Amino acid sequence: MASSPHHTPSAHTSLPKAEFAFPGPLRDQLVAAILDGSKTSTTGLLAEYEQDGDPLPAPGERSVVVDSDDRPVAVIETTEVRVVPLADVDLAHAVDEGEGYTSVAAWRAGHESFWHGAELRAALGDETFTVDDGTELVLERFRLVADLRAE
């Protein structure tokens, strides 16, 4: 798409990238939920941050959400970060993930399926990786700052 003559490069190009799940149907679903406002929380494995050497997100930080084609589609801002064991995830967090969960048990089952999947195990370099009640999770809340699809 051609840009108009008065278009200037967006400030978002210098922001870190936020990737939800792996490219494909699940990422597409999660990105759509962010864009329609139904997804305002996300969960990560502390082990992933440690393996990648990435700092934990912090309130006030902004990042660019990319779709399955690695196109920037939104800017989000972290509003809260908690590190808790899997057993302590609450219903509000599960519901705010915007995936239709109505119980922590359903949320956990869906996430365990992802965490125990071949793609994540490969990313962690541990083909037998599993989670349990004590697995440390990074619970992040965020708000949609900008929808970049119109740019």
Over residues 81-128, the pLDDT tens digits come to: 999 999 999 999 999 999 999 999 999 999 999 999 999 999 889 999
Rounded CA Rg of the chain: 16
Least Cα distance to 92 among 51, 37, 149, 141 occurs for 141
Do 143 and 44 touch, CB atoms closer than 8 A? no
Least Cα distance to 29 among 98, 94, 82 occurs for 98
Do 145 and 75 touch, CB atoms closer than 8 A? yes
Over residues 24-79, the pLDDT tens digits come to: 998 999 999 999 999 999 999 999 999 888 899 999 999 999 999 999 999 999 99
pLDDT given at position 151: 63
- In this prediction the pTM is 0.86
